[in-house]
Amino acid sequence: MDGFRLCLLCCALPLLAGCGNLLPSERAEVSSGFRDYLDAETSFARATPGSTTRAELFKLGFDPQHGGNGRILSFLDVRQLFVQPNIPIEYLPDSLVTCLQAKDRCTGYAFEYTQTDSQRVGSFWADVLNFRKNRQVQGWNLRAVFVLVDDTLVHKVSNGEPQIRRYQVQRNPLGPLQGAGEFLSDQLK
């Protein structure tokens, strides 16, 4: 029987050593035609106010109907997005004032692209027994707004995070008993 236990232990050790690979992972992507932040930012930079047409904007990958993840903005949406109650219109760029004066001929597009990869890292047993959960998140996101009068781009603005790097730690000193009180009180209701 001792030989059997030794053999079982020898077989179990490699399995336990690789338990870190058993931790859950998650990948979230808002579909786009862009490989990464640099690719999206480069396409954004190619759009030139005053000369880029709607069709050219679509060819650059900013097409809400075919590329997805874009919102079509009406004149009122553009106004609400850029005009704030405590900021005088004179502070707006001339291109936006032109849009606001064009009223119904002014439209816009708002896009948001995100790609993140979330991995649980650390001790398998601490994670499974709920003592400590470590999560590493990496990725990028880009938000872009384009404003057009008729079919010509007049204004654009973007922001985003080229390198998302987050490390989250959740500690539960009571391990599997953490939250048991809440569970029991919910059951008694």
Across the range 71-97, mean pLDDT stands at: 89
pLDDT of 116: 84
Does a structural domain hold residue 5? Answer: no
Q: Is the pTM of this model over 0.75?
A: no
Of residues 54 and 131, more confidently modeled: 54
> Is residue 7 very low, low, confident or very high in pLDDT (cuts 50, 70, 90)?
low
Does a structural domain hold residue 116? Answer: yes
Torsion of Cα atoms, 25 then 30 then 36 then 42, to 10°: -170
Does a structural domain hold residue 143? Answer: yes
Does a structural domain hold residue 54? Answer: yes
Residue at 131: amino acid letter: F
Nearest residue to 78 (alpha-carbon basis) of 95, 63, 60 = 95
Task: Give rounded-to-5 percent helix, strand, coil for the chain.
Answer: 40, 35, 25
Domain count, the chain: 1
Q: Are 123 and 132 in contact (CB under 8 A)?
A: yes
Give, in degrees to the nearest 5, the angle at Cα 30 between 24 and 32: 130
Does a structural domain hold residue 174? Answer: yes
Does a structural domain hold residue 11? Answer: no
Rounded CA separation 112/40 (Å): 11
Does a structural domain hold residue 41? Answer: yes
Range of the domain at 82: 22-188
Q: What is the pLDDT of residues 20-39, one digit of tens each?
A: 556 666 555 556 788 899 99
Does a structural domain hold residue 6? Answer: no
DSSP structural state of residue 20:
G
Q: Give the best-scoring range by mean pLDDT among 15-19, 155-159, 170-174.
A: 155-159
